[in-house]
Structure 1
């Protein structure tokens, strides 16, 4: 079963970088070495001018300290590049190639150039790839093959029930998330190979049930900031929250709307008018928010 990569802590190999620490260590190292040289050549002056910005030795040490900082940062980048939780870009492409997984084309731009899936989506599919080798038809294996079948698919959930029934729920990335029949058929065909579905499994592929719900809130702005700017920021925050809740089986919560509106905004109060309560789309559905309306009290 695929793990949640967001819960994996950064390993100790990723070093916390601090220029001043490196600089102080190099100054201390130089002073120690200089003191040893003076033991054999006492006529040399003591070094005690490291606080002077014009000191040539200090300038050279600062240059070397900065270069060491860059090298340590590069080492961090190399380490991140070989870990699934942190690798990005073409490093992620090469990491996923070990399992025969390539980045999906999700659409073509106006000039006909392919637009590929994000690192985050690609990372999640690569994380599911090992489950694709399982012969018993686990849920994550179905998710992997269904998700990989077409670039228009934003999310897949596999729900196993009684009598060997397995429902594959698809959420599209365009519009309200409804998936076309052509894509549903394509996914069904992808899951029908003998190497992917046990003979005893009854697989049903369907689009997620879309629950359309506008969000309407009434806000009271604090004295001081420009009200129109505050309202615009609150609306953007709510839209971001609504997008994050556009996922299969995910509840749109009234308290989440309030928290999003308050996030970084100078608001005295937020009252949610619509929805009147939490919106639960059920395990086969998703909430789609076509509009966010922010009114000023």
Structure 2
């Protein structure tokens, strides 16, 4: 999909500078007055004509701003709220209960590039994300000539593990009339197929609070879960060290896992139990 945030900021109407706009209006006013044989002094700020020109320049700038904002809200990257709902309706999509603008934008993109019923990855992801707001991502693949479509579901819940109820919802959505091809069979599973326990020895700086040791447990789990592309992402010892080096931590020694844990392209690795060993204090 196209990264909407990487696109240049659109300029539907040319932005105007108030002072430049006002000066153009003053110059026009002087020229028109001269043509009628009237000498008009534009330097008198209390002149009623000058006041009117300043007001006109202000409202011209305000109107341009309103039009720009209204036009931008019809562009997917900037559309929000009800305007985004109307954009979604063009693709026969409706916002799910609790769904935020960012997720709905992703579904709109998927609907445009996965519109074919031919079984593209984007098509399957569009259907799965539209089935339940807890679907964060999916991976799809076939093995050899087997027509079975394997679908690994990554959940939005901490750790990413998809519950059986969520898997059932996705399976039902994929097998719905108008979605399922006659030749397709679906094997829906959780994308999280490895849960790795982590043990680290943490050395704090002399002035760091002791509570930092406890904070590290939840911090590592949350940091892992916040990774944008979690599917296929290895859990490396370097990743653990980098994410455990919070302000106040002077050193980290990873005991477990003993080596990097490799993820398959269609699976996610979740962090299980985090054990923090107090390594004392040092600069």
Q: 1:74 to 1:201 in 2, by over 3 A?
A: same
Return the alpha-carbon distance in structure 2 between the equivalents of residues 213 and 67 of structure 1. 62
Unaligned runs of 5+ in 1: 106-115
Going from structure 1 to structure 2, the CA distance change for 1:78 and 1:216 (only over 3 Å counts) comes to farther
Q: 1:147 — aligned with what? A: 129
1:257 CA drift (Å): 6.8
8 Å contact kept, 1:135–1:196: yes
CA RMSD after TM alignment: 4.3
Q: CA deviation at 1:96?
A: 0.9
For this pair of structures, how many residues does the alignment match?
Answer: 269
Instruction: Decide which of 126, 129, 153 is 1:170's aligned counterpart.
Output: 153
Aligned to 1:108: none
CA offsets per residue over residues 132-185 of structure 1, 9 Å max, x none? 542322222111212222232222222233223321111122232221222212
The question of whether the paired residues in 1 share the 8 Å contact of 2:117 and 2:179 is answered with: yes
* Aligned residue in 2 for 1:45: 41
SS across alignment from 1:29: helix
Pair 142,64 (structure 1): closer, same or farther in 2 beyond 3 Å: same
Asked whether 1:89 is paired with 2:81, we answer: yes
CA distance in 2, matches of 1:63, 1:175: 55
TM-score (norm 2): 0.71
Query: Which residue is equivalent to 2:7?
Result: 9
TM-superposed deviation, 1:86: 2.3
Residue 99 (str. 1) matches residue 82 (str. 2)? no
From 11, 20, 23, give the equivalent of 1:25.
20
Output aligned runs, 1:249-268, within 5 Å. Answer: 249-251=232-234
Q: Are 2:19 and 1:35 equivalent residues in the alignment?
A: no
Indicate how the Cα distance of structure 1 residues 60 and 227 shifts in structure 2: closer, same or farther if over 3 A, else same. Answer: farther
Asked if the contact 2:158–2:225 (Cα under 8 Å) also holds between the matched residues in 1, the reply is no
Alpha-carbon distance change, 75 to 239 in structure 1, aligned in 2, over 3 angstroms: farther
1:84-119 per-position Cα deviation (integer Å, ceiling 9, x unaligned)? 2321111111111122211123xxxxxxxxxx1111
- 1:245 and 1:252 in contact (8 A); partners too: no
